[in-house]
Structure 1
């Protein structure tokens, strides 16, 4: 850790406690020995719901511990997984949404590092098991943006703890074009705060740096 600029022994001890809670021996060794660009930060606590993973925030070969097999939700593959809290929230969202709209389909969920391209490992938020990709059946994927279901999700997903991960007019901040399909579970409290303030996860993290 000292080689990465951390000199305070108490701080290093706290960081190592977080790392050993999140990573097993193999993934921790990989995390601490990998050569990263100077502008990339290691995420010490990827188990937190507000964890930011992108081109500047790296989680190595992290794999969450509380993954559940998705059931009772239409999906493109039988074996799809989400973290426990995200799955339970999605199940409630799906049940409520289905009372008004038909055809909800889960297209993307947790992705294990072994299933990702080499240059994606550690930088792909889907490794957290908190990100979902959704659409509506019986219409072209690209047309989901203009559906009533999509509008309902943008207006109500926060009530279940999900945020639209890449909203409109935020591409310069998220470094990702607007995408009506991708939602991220952050918990109800933070989701409401981000929804009300119209902040992205990136903006929220920037505001809270150093706290």
Structure 2
């Protein structure tokens, strides 16, 4: 039973997996941004991007110019993949640690390399929070070091777990439909619609959380 449930998250075992190509379906939407008269979807998306850009710009500050483009691109990639996973027969690539770790680990590693090579004293100061008693300083250094090392893992697992949890719940409820009465099926459909709305909200929130935490981590290295 559990194997059948999780099989919906299995990528294809062929030489060239067509499922992973769904990650790049966003490229098909890109030409829309070059239309002479923008569509309503394009105008709405530009408003969202401007809001996200302003949010990231406030966090990053004036020192690191151009980094907002990287984080808005990251937000766009994750939110598109999260939303596409809600459609039938489309592979949810963000439900795999291979995808999420490939996003979080290089970002975190590049921040750490930049911080320790260019702002070593500043990075060492981050290991001891302000106001820590002298006797607790060695323990705080260990705790802060561990919490810093597990950051890419927590980013990746948070996104993956949230994507898997909602899909599994919808699959579990959908599999019970054949054993229900007509009234219960109607209730099941209403519940599935509400869950789909909830999953849409989770898709937006998790993409925002992933990108905003990455932005906060980059803020600490300079």
Give the TM-score, by structure 1 length: 0.26
Q: Higher helix fraction: Structure 1 or Structure 2?
A: 2
Structure with the greater relative contact order (CA < 8 A, sep ≥ 6): 1 or 2? 2
Give the TM-score, by structure 2 length: 0.25
Larger radius of gyration: 2
